[in-house]
Amino acid sequence: MRHIPVIRTADLLPQIDESQLIEAVAGGLMDLATGRSNAPMPGLLLSKDPPGDCHIKYARSATLDLMIVKAATGFYRNGELGLPVNDGLITVFSGSTGQLRCVIDDGGLLTGMRTAATGVIAARLGWNDRGRAVGVVGTGHQARLQAGWAARHLTDLPIQLFGRSSEKAQALARELGADGIAADVHEDLDAFAAASGTIILCTSATSPILDGRQLQPGHHIVSLGADGPGKMELSNDIYRAAARVAVDDLAQAKERGDFGSAMKHACLDPESALSIGQLLCGGCSLRHGSEEVTLVNLCGTAACDLAAIAYLLRLHEGPAT
């Protein structure tokens, strides 16, 4: 009987360097854009009662001896049960032989950090002086990650917070404060948008939270919560107002969330959407002018998971001798 190693992401957390993970995830986006990795359309299992989903994602690298299959769950009432919202595991295979190398007991941790890293990358694509004030919409685990990573890698200004539940937003601000991160909570969405230059949305919303009435010149919007059918964070008119839109995975974006809705309502030409990976390869900004509204839609590509897992495996295996 063969022995299959099980790696726990939680055991490697003290070794993870956020800047290195951001660099690895950026490399994953560039690999996808240049054909060095392959990440087909993922699978998705939905649950209505209780509300939740399971994303099944897979990718193979043409340059690394690596192939992955990941199952990641998100059940949004788990907090009421005293359980984490996210869970998941990753099976890792040799890309050349297909032999199983290991199983990663992730618990949703690496998936969450991969998403936080991608949020930082997406925010930088539309960065300007106004963007230094970062606002986060959401109150859950990913909102805490986005706020923390933004404070450490994007801005030294207080993080602006808005949540559909004011109580949860205040609780998040207290959690961030305990970590030494200053945060201002807004109960009014208009005031929140006016105080924020870069707005990162990470919710499970099924109807738009932000619409064109809140937009101001120079706003940069990053939407990462609308990663499945029926999810929406942005109204169609925000896509119409954006000078440029970038995506991590166009095939997914067309089928899911507010990008798909804007496309169906003729508020967006999907073929005009830019590839984040191609922008990174060219060292290009999404922004051409300081007054433009720019937008990045993130669905979460397995190419980023692949890059994050390659980084995790290097930590697990230790320095080469």
Helix %, strand %, coil % of the chain (to 5): 40, 25, 35
| 136 occurs within a structural domain | yes
- What number of other Cβ atoms are within 10 A of residue 272's Cβ? 8
Overall domain count for the chain: 2
Same domain for 267 and 171? yes
**pLDDT score of 62:** 86
Weakly modelled stretches of the chain, pLDDT under 70: 319-321
| 118 occurs within a structural domain | no
| 165 occurs within a structural domain | yes
Q: How far apart are CA 205 and CA 157, in angstroms?
A: 27
| 1 occurs within a structural domain | no
* Burial (CB count <10 Å: 0-12, 13-18, 19+), residue 43: exposed
Which letter does DSSP use for residue 320 in this model? -
Pairing of strands 52-61, 43-47: antiparallel
**pLDDT score of 289:** 93
Same domain for 166 and 72? no
- CATH number of the domain to which 107 belongs: 3.30.1780.10
Same domain for 230 and 312? no
Same domain for 19 and 34? yes
Maximum distance among all Cα pairs of the chain, rounded to whole angstroms:
63
Same domain for 188 and 211? yes
Same domain for 160 and 257? yes
Same domain for 59 and 183? no
**pLDDT score of 321:** 45
Q: How far apart are CA 301 and CA 306, in angstroms?
A: 9
User: What is the DSSP track for 6-39?
Assistant: EEEHHHHGGG--HHHHHHHHHHHHHHHHHTSEE-
Same domain for 271 and 308? no
Same domain for 184 and 68? no
Nearest to 302 by CA among 248, 225, 224, 231: 248
The range of the structural domain enclosing residue 240 comes to 125-301
pLDDT 10s digits, 269-317: 999 999 999 999 999 999 999 999 999 999 999 999 999 999 999 999 8
**H/E element, 212:** none
Same domain for 222 and 133? yes
- CATH number of the domain to which 255 belongs: 3.40.50.720
pTM of the model: 0.94
